[in-house]
Amino acid sequence: MVAVQTKLPTQVSHVRSTNMTENTDHTQLCEWLKAVAENRCKISFTHLFKFFAPKIQRIARSKFPNEAQAHEVVQDTMSNVWRKAHLFDSNKGAATTWVYTVMRNVTFDLLRKIKNNREDNLSDDIWPIAENAVAEDHSYEDHLENKQLLRVIEALPVPQQEVVKGFYLMEMSQEQLATHLNLPLGTIKSRLRLALVKMKVQLGEEHD
């Protein structure tokens, strides 16, 4: 085990992977994990390491004050993946989800260790982020469910609204739809209105 750990590369890429989903081949990840579990396949493990290490590194880096601890999370997570690959069950979820859980547990362990060493260093919650900042007014309590937040979004200039709404609601704006269909906004508006009227008539007829 220790031998495996020391063989892991310590230099981890800091390049931000912005399109994680784009290149994620879940079947491939599952196959690699299986190969590690059944045949202790080092090549498959190298592939897994290349895929997961930068992501784990990046997440861990923001939870810990220094680089070394983030590296430790990467090392421990990946060595646990090596040791526990046989526990992964592809029927129960994606490989990414499983590795994420392993990483989470490693992070908890490390934070507990740090906490024992230096009581004042960090809280035992690994995600201390927004909680304290927003606790007073609960303005984020239910995310977009919160009507106040929606009102704030409505008050934003249109481009910003789109960024916020697009991100959370995944819904296109009328402007985006007009651009996409290469039609004037007015045409889109009347088309939407007409379509909804038509639909109401149809549904109404059906329900009578």
Partner 1 sequence: MHNKTVNLPLFPLSIFLLPGGITRLRIFEARYLKMVSLATSNGGFIICPDIDNKSEQLAIWGSWVEIINFDQGDDGVLEIDVKCKTLVQVNQVDQNKEQLHFATAVPFKHWAENESSVAIPLLMDSLQSLVESNGLLKDLYDHNLQLNPYWVVARWIELLPIPFDVKNSFIYESTYSEAEKLVSSIIAEQL
Question: Using the rule CB under 8 A, is 20 a contact of partner 1?
Answer: yes
CA distance 2 to 203: 66
Alpha carbon distances (Å) from 44 to 31, 40, 83: 8, 9, 14
CB 85, min distance to partner 1, A? 17
Among residues 94, 152, 156, 185, which is the contact residue for partner 1, using CB under 8 A?
Answer: 94
Footprint (CB under 8 A) of partner 1, residues 133-152: 134, 140-145
Question: Using the rule CB under 8 A, is 24 a contact of partner 1?
Answer: yes
CB 40, min distance to partner 1, A? 25
- Residue 87 DSSP one-character state: G
- For Cα atoms 15, 19, 20, give the angle at the middle one, nearest 5 degrees: 85
Cα-Cα-Cα-Cα dihedral of 71, 76, 77, 81, to 10°?
Answer: 140
Judged by DSSP in three states, 64 sits in coil
Question: Using the rule CB under 8 A, is 164 a contact of partner 1?
Answer: no
Residues contributing to the site for partner 1 (CB under 8 A): 17, 19-22, 24, 26, 55, 58-59, 62, 92-94, 96-98, 100-101, 104, 125, 127, 129-131, 134, 140-145, 166-174, 176-177, 180-181, 187, 191-192, 194-196, 198-199, 202-203
